[in-house]
Each structure stands twice: as C-alpha cells, then as structure tokens.
Homo-oligomer: A and B are copies of this chain.
Amino acid sequence: MVNQASESTQESPSDMPAEISGLRMTRQRWEVYRLLLEQRDHPTANDVFMRVKDRLPNISLATVYNCLEALVQHGAIRQVNFERESSRFCPNLEEHGHFHDKRSGTIHDVTFKPGVQLADVLELPPGTLITDIEITLRGELPTAHS
C-alpha cells in the first residue's frame, strides 16, 4: 500500500553531461553543480542541501558533502572559508578573492585590477612557487544614497 522506493531510480536530465573536468557526472553531482552555477551567493553545504531538495527530495547531507568535495577536487568549483565559519562554495574559476559585506552579510567576488599579479606585489624569495592563493576581505560596501 505504501508507495515504497517508487522514486528510487531517477532519470538523468537531457542536459546533463557525462562528465565535468574528468569527474563522472551523476544526477546528484549535476544538480549540486547546476545549483551553484545558478545561485552564485556562495552557499554553505547545508544551504545547498536544503535548496537541492526541491529537485532531489531523497538526497542526503553526506551526499551533498561528497558531491561538493568531488567537484572541488576536480577543479569544477572552489571552496571558500571565512574565519571558522562553515565552508562556502563558488563556481567562479577565475582568480578572485571574496569580500564579505558586514552590513548585508553578502559575499562578493573581487578581482584584481587588469594587469596586476598578486605575486608581483608581495615580498617573496625569488623562485617561490605559488600554487594557491586565498584573499578574504571584510568591510562595508558603500550605500546607494551617499
């Protein structure tokens, strides 16, 4: 009588690629990735979990963590940390930093001015190999009426 396991097998959307950056795509990975592309507000794993339930009601939080980790490790998205808060996730693969606006609580991507290389403005021993850079800013964006 109870409709048990009736939605266990889910059909793949027609626009789902077989893989992204060498990572085999699954329905869950695809929906997580798609959500990040469409809602670029740097959600946490739990945010993603709650949002993606619309499309995958049976997905588990562990799977969301698994998907995010797989996407990060294959370079399809980036993991962003603010202090000790929950990690956030960002699909912008350009080199960029993050500005946390205290007033609104929102997080914004920040790029370098054209031509600037961070390594050029830092005091580093010649020959230093930089593999990863993280820039985080906190402050207040200007208000519209000022």
Contacts and interface: CB of A to CB of B under 8 A. Distances in A.
Contacts of A130: 137-139
A110 B120 CA distance: 12
Nearest to A103: B129
Task: Give how many copies assemble into the complex.
Answer: 2
Contacts of A146: 127
Contact of A84 (B87, B123, B139): B87
B129 A139 contact: yes
12 contacts: A81-B81, A110-B122, A111-B122, A112-B123, A113-B122, A128-B141, A130-B138, A130-B139, A132-B137, A133-B136, A134-B135, A134-B136
A131 B118 CA distance: 20
Residue from A83, A116, A121, A130 having most chain B Cβ neighbours under 10 A: A121
A142 interface: yes
Interface size class of chain A, counting residues whose CB lies under 8 Å from the partner chain: 35 or more
B113 A140 contact: no
B137 A125 contact: no
Nearest to A140: B129
A97 B119 CA distance: 12
B125 A121 contact: no
